[in-house]
Amino acid sequence: MAKLNWHPINITPRAPQDLQLRVIVYNVQDVVLSDTSFTGEKMSDIYVKGWLKGQDKKQKTDVHYRSLNGEGNFNWRYIFPFKYLPAEEVMVIKKKEHFFSLDKHEEKYPVTFVAQIWDNDIFTPDDFLGLLELKPELHAESQQVP
């Protein structure tokens, strides 16, 4: 009788890597001037809101007040930590389905950074001015978070 040589195969799911997406907003230009000042000049109070699609946490820059030519200067840094599965090229987010759920379930999203430009208003809701979506290419040599 022949002896069978078998070896156990590891079938545990791949663990996602902890990564960070770092984004710097230096300047914006050609922004729509949506407000009119007391002197009749067109202007906007510009800020940028950014997040990763699928994550709930949104980050905002400070406000560049009274832009008269559609330009704003920020030098603002965003840091977005996320869990990434390189084999599937998706980020993994664990969240509860609803408030009363006991367990979290896993959702997978392609890594997409979203930036929106807004006009800050005091007495009325802020005005939406523009949108940018970026899909960064993540490579195996990307540095992991220590």
**pLDDT tens digits along 55-87:** 889 999 999 998 888 898 999 999 999 999 888
Give me 131's structure tokens. 């949108």
Would the pLDDT of 15 be above 60? yes
pLDDT of residue 32: 86
- Give the integer Cα–Cα distance in Å for 131 and 118: 9
Q: Sorting pLDDT into bands at 50, 70 and 90, what band is 141?
A: low
pLDDT of residue 136: 85
Give me 48's structure tokens. 């940028």
- Give the integer Cα–Cα distance in Å for 52 and 81: 9
In single-letter form, the type of residue at position 1 comes to: M
Give me 95's structure tokens. 């969240």
For residues 40-55, average pLDDT:
91
pLDDT of residue 113: 95
pLDDT of residue 134: 92
Closest CA to 115 of 132, 137, 134, 130: 132
Closest CA to 35 of 27, 46, 25: 46
pLDDT of residue 1: 62
**pLDDT tens digits along 96-139:** 888 887 888 888 999 999 999 999 988 889 999 999 999 988 76
Q: Sorting pLDDT into bands at 50, 70 and 90, what band is 9?
A: confident
Give me 64's structure tokens. 């560049």
CA dihedral 66, 38, 130, 20 (to 10 degrees): 30
Would the pLDDT of 142 be above 90? no
